[in-house]
Amino acid sequence: MTTDVSAISAAALSPNASSGDARSQHRSFRLGDALLGLVCRGSAAIIALMLGALVLVLLTSAMPAIKQFGLGFLVSSEWRVNELERPVKDAAGHVVMEEGEVVMETIKPAFGALPVIYGTAVSSLIALVVAVPLSLGAALFLVRVAPTLRLAGPLSFLIEFLAAIPSLAYGIWGLFVLAPFLQSRVGPAIQATLENVPGLRWLFYETVTIAGKAVERPIPITGRDMLCGSLVLAIMILPIVTSVSRDVLKAVPRTQIEGTLALGATWWQSCVAMLRYGRSGLFGAVMLGLARAAGETMAITMVIGNNNQINPSPFAPAQTMASLLANEFAEASEGLHQASLLYVALVLLVMSLLFNIIARRLVVGRASPAGH
Amino acid sequence: MASARFETRRLTSDAMFVVCTACAIVIVTLLLLVSGYLVWIGAGAINLSFFRDIPTGDVANPGGMRHAIEGTVILLALAAAVGVPLGVAAGVYLSEYRHEWLFAGPLRFIADVLTGVPSIVVGILGYELFVVPVARWTSNSVSFSGYAGAAALAFIMIPIVARTTEEMLRLVPRTYREGSLALGASKAQTVLRVVLPSAFGSISTGIMLALARVAGETAPLLFTALGSRLLTRDPSEPFPSLTLQIYTYATGPYPEQKKLAWAGILVLLAILFVVNLLIRLVAARHASTRLGKS
């Protein structure tokens, strides 16, 4: 349609041109439009292909593990890479002997994602609990106080720059600054205060089975543990949660704030009204933070301690899905181990896609400042 | 009675005002503390040898990171060569062909979702798509390569570039398009000679931002480019990158190598800071000229 109209108008604008010229121009227009359409549509299709390839490749490569373990993978906490030989024991717990030799049994490698799912969930949640209140407070400051102090510009620049700092940098800071600090100062201080409080022993002691006996032993405070991982995550998601919340709060209509103030609300009461007005967008900001925390790899790998276990104590080393992948994928032998890691990657992908979809719906759906 | 209640309300309000201010101060100091510390230690570790030398293999005197800096530059160039044209073209589709709502809407959504894919998962995809098949084809046991790394980086770049291009093109006034079409230009001419050039500045800042983002990525390269201690310019080999080298050195046991890691972080931060500053300046100039016109 457009081409027809433009070709006609081009001909009309140049009365001296012969009709043959107009026709060849018309043809070249159609060709150019078709080419541009092809290139743009093709490139756009590649975006769809990328998502398709991502899901398809992970699904097919994880298939052996999916077939073997099914959904039980998600709730099993076994993670044995190699075959294990151990003596068979009878009901009384004695080693079974036959013809003077200990009877051995072979245990096949087994894989389950529960410890890493637990690690991801708990570290992300602690990070959110630390980061979200701080971010909301700062976002309110940025929207309602900073502009009057002419601070909004510089502070926004600072926060956006900090959001761009690679996770590797936060990881190195966590590894060399935060972890030693937690190990030498914070950990011992907390232990000294809380160790004798009844009901909090699990913070500092773990029960392990050694040679068939349950032994309680103290958890060594190394600084590279769940607590450190969560704190580094919290620091990393502060900028993004703050800047998205700021955008959401900025999009609250001025009349809403003025209305509450006119009704006699105090500064804080009108802030509450703002928060309530933007609640779905703010929830989206939190989900974006969650998605970022859950998918975070380099920083968490460096500080969480990388131990595939479920331990309720924040002073115990843990493992997240992303850190498990970073640690083991390169060395995994082809076969079940690698397929299981790919299964973990698939779970991670689905989870972060879910968080992102929810977040986009909430932030873009309601509070888009550049509305259509 | 009423005045007492008013008093409490006022006190709460004042208290929360202080709390919000404190939150902002805490965040800013915390983040300044982190970046300041990185800059401080990095500044003490950096010297000319960092840019000039390649690893010596001697842990007491480990040389520099020239190979890694060059590696990152080459990886970024390769990723941009693929990612920028595809991303911009997809962005043009999302903006100029958005009347094709059946596709444009979902594609925008997919692009948004893709920007949130964890980078380690992108690395694994790169491994499965580029490393394993190539290894099978050439019957090597492993074939980590710079190409695979660049592909993983391009994967991250494309959706970002597409979405920023779209946003920037949407800011081009409708009247420009209508004027061009009314003068007899075709749609292709309108897009290529009017719409894209008038958004050129802001699109290139978007591209810079995407490049800055992938320049700091480590996870996608772990299983694709793998890293290397050689000064190689052949991307079909395992390829060095600044981030990979920093990670290896930082998690390794040798103090001299750790110093290099700090210096590397400083270089990364400096690049990011300059890019962000440039973008800020360009955006500010843009805003002021637009104001001047209207």
Q: Chain A: give the shortest CA distance to residue B194, in Å.
A: 14
Give me Rg for the CA atoms of chain A: 29
Interchain pair B28, A158: CB under 8 A: yes
- pLDDT for A368 beyond 80: no
Residue A122's pLDDT is 94
Interchain pair A33, B118: CB under 8 A: no
Instruction: Give per-residue pLDDT as tens, A178-204.
Output: 999 999 988 888 888 888 888 788 888
Instruction: Give per-residue pLDDT as tens, A329-367.
Output: 888 888 889 999 999 999 999 998 898 888 888 876 544
Confidence class for position B243, pLDDT limits 50, 70, 90: very high
Sign of CA dihedral B270, B273, B275, B281: negative
Kindly report the average pLDDT of chain B as a whole number.
88
Q: Chain A: give the shortest CA distance to residue B46, in Å.
A: 16
- pLDDT for A130 beyond 80: yes
- pLDDT for B154 beyond 70: yes
Residue B191's pLDDT is 92
Question: B40 CB near a chain A CB, below 8 Å?
Answer: no
Query: Chain centroid to CA A222: how far?
Result: 25
What DSSP line would sit under A329-367, residue for residue? TTTPPTTHHHHHHHHHHHHHHHHHHHHHHHHHHHHHHHH
Interchain pair B118, A297: CB under 8 A: yes
pLDDT higher for A103 or A299? A299
Chain A CB contacts of B215 below 8 Å: 166
The whole-number average pLDDT for the span A142-157 is 87
A49-63, B153-167, B189-203, B269-283: lowest mean pLDDT where? B269-283
The crossing angle, in degrees rounded to 10, of helices A279-295 and A321-328 is 20
- pLDDT for B126 beyond 90: yes
The whole-number average pLDDT for the span B157-171 is 92
Interchain pair A6, B10: CB under 8 A: no
Instruction: Please tell me the distance from the alpha carbon of residue B205 to that of residue B88, in angstroms, as a whole number.
Output: 12
DSSP, collapsed to helix, strand or coil, labels residue A234 as helix
* CA proximity to A295, closest of A261, A268, A326: A326
Residue A365's pLDDT is 53
Confidence class for position A43, pLDDT limits 50, 70, 90: very high
Interchain pair B107, A238: CB under 8 A: no
Tokens of B225: 């480019």
Tokens of A191: 């232990």
Kindly report the average pLDDT of chain A as a whole number.
85
Q: Chain A: give the shortest CA distance to residue B149, in Å.
A: 14
Question: B19 CB near a chain A CB, below 8 Å?
Answer: yes
pLDDT higher for A5 or B279? B279
- pLDDT for B234 beyond 80: yes
Q: From residue B44, how far is each of A195, B61, B111, B261 by CA, in Å? A: 41, 16, 41, 12
Residue A4's pLDDT is 46
Residue A273's pLDDT is 92
The whole-number average pLDDT for the span B267-278 is 87
Residue A334's pLDDT is 80
Interchain pair A298, B247: CB under 8 A: yes
Interchain pair B159, A50: CB under 8 A: yes
Chain B CB contacts of A41 below 8 Å: 93, 97, 103
Tokens of A298: 């380099």
- A:70-129 residues touching chain B, CB 8 A cutoff: none
Mutate which: A246, A266, A368, vs B, most B CBs within 10 A: A266
Question: Who among B38, B107, B262 is closest to A44 (CB)?
Answer: B107
Residue B98's pLDDT is 82
CB pairs under 8 A between A and B: 289
Tokens of A221: 């405070």
Instruction: Answer yes or no: are the C-beta atoms of A326 and A298 closer than 8 Å.
Output: yes
Residue B53's pLDDT is 86
Instruction: Answer yes or no: are the C-beta atoms of B224 and B151 closer than 8 Å.
Output: yes
- pLDDT for B157 beyond 90: yes
Chain B CB contacts of A288 below 8 Å: 116
Residue A139's pLDDT is 94
- B:218-277 residues touching chain A, CB 8 A cutoff: 218-219, 222-223, 243, 246-247, 250-251, 258, 261-262, 265, 268-269, 272-273, 275-276
Instruction: Give per-residue pLDDT as tens, B30-67.
Output: 888 888 999 999 998 888 888 888 888 787 888 888 99
Residue A270's pLDDT is 92
* CA proximity to A224, closest of A193, A184, A169, A195: A184
Instruction: Please tell me the distance from the alpha carbon of residue A212 to that of residue A122, in angstroms, as a whole number.
Output: 30
Instruction: Please tell me the distance from the alpha carbon of residue B240 to that of residue B246, in angstroms, as a whole number.
Output: 11
Interchain pair A41, B97: CB under 8 A: yes
Interchain pair B86, A329: CB under 8 A: no
Residue A107's pLDDT is 79
pLDDT higher for A149 or B2? A149
Instruction: Answer yes or no: are the C-beta atoms of A95 and A299 closer than 8 Å.
Output: no
Chain A CB contacts of B102 below 8 Å: none
Select the highest-mean-pLDDT range: A79-83, A99-103, A337-341.
A337-341
Contacts of A43 (CB under 8 A, 6+ apart): B85, B86, B87, B89, B90, B93, B162
Provide the H-helix boundaries in chain A. 2-13, 19-69, 114-140, 152-164, 167-173, 179-181, 187-194, 226-250, 254-262, 267-277, 279-295, 298-303, 321-328, 336-367
Question: A354 CB near a chain B CB, below 8 Å?
Answer: no
The whole-number average pLDDT for the span A121-141 is 94
Select the highest-mean-pLDDT range: A140-144, A220-224, B251-255.
A140-144
Instruction: Please tell me the distance from the alpha carbon of residue B221 to that of residue B242, in angstroms, as a whole number.
Output: 11
**How much of chain A exceeds pLDDT 90, in percent?**
42
Confidence class for position A2, pLDDT limits 50, 70, 90: very low
- Classify residue A48 by burial, with Cβ atoms within 10 Å: 0-12, 13-18, 19+: middle
Chain A CB contacts of B143 below 8 Å: none
pLDDT higher for A17 or B74? B74
- pLDDT for A316 beyond 60: yes
Instruction: Please tell me the distance from the alpha carbon of residue B279 to that of residue B282, in angstroms, as a whole number.
Output: 5
Chain B CB contacts of A349 below 8 Å: 117-118, 121
The whole-number average pLDDT for the span B90-117 is 87
The crossing angle, in degrees rounded to 10, of helices B2-45 and A152-164 is 50
- pLDDT for B116 beyond 90: no
Chain B CB contacts of A353 below 8 Å: 113, 116-117
Instruction: Please tell me the distance from the alpha carbon of residue B224 to that of residue B217, in angstroms, as a whole number.
Output: 12
Please report the ipTM that was assigned to this predicted complex: 0.88
pLDDT higher for A241 or A26? A241
What SS3 string covers B44-71? HHCCHHHHHCCCCCCCCCCCCCHHHHHH
Interchain pair B116, A155: CB under 8 A: no
- pLDDT for B245 beyond 50: yes
Question: Who among A162, A168, A173 is closest to B218 (CB)?
Answer: A168
Question: B214 CB near a chain A CB, below 8 Å?
Answer: no
- pLDDT for A22 beyond 90: no
Chain B CB contacts of A324 below 8 Å: none
Instruction: Answer yes or no: are the C-beta atoms of A68 and A76 closer than 8 Å.
Output: no
The whole-number average pLDDT for the span A222-231 is 91
Instruction: Answer yes or no: are the C-beta atoms of A27 and A35 closer than 8 Å.
Output: no
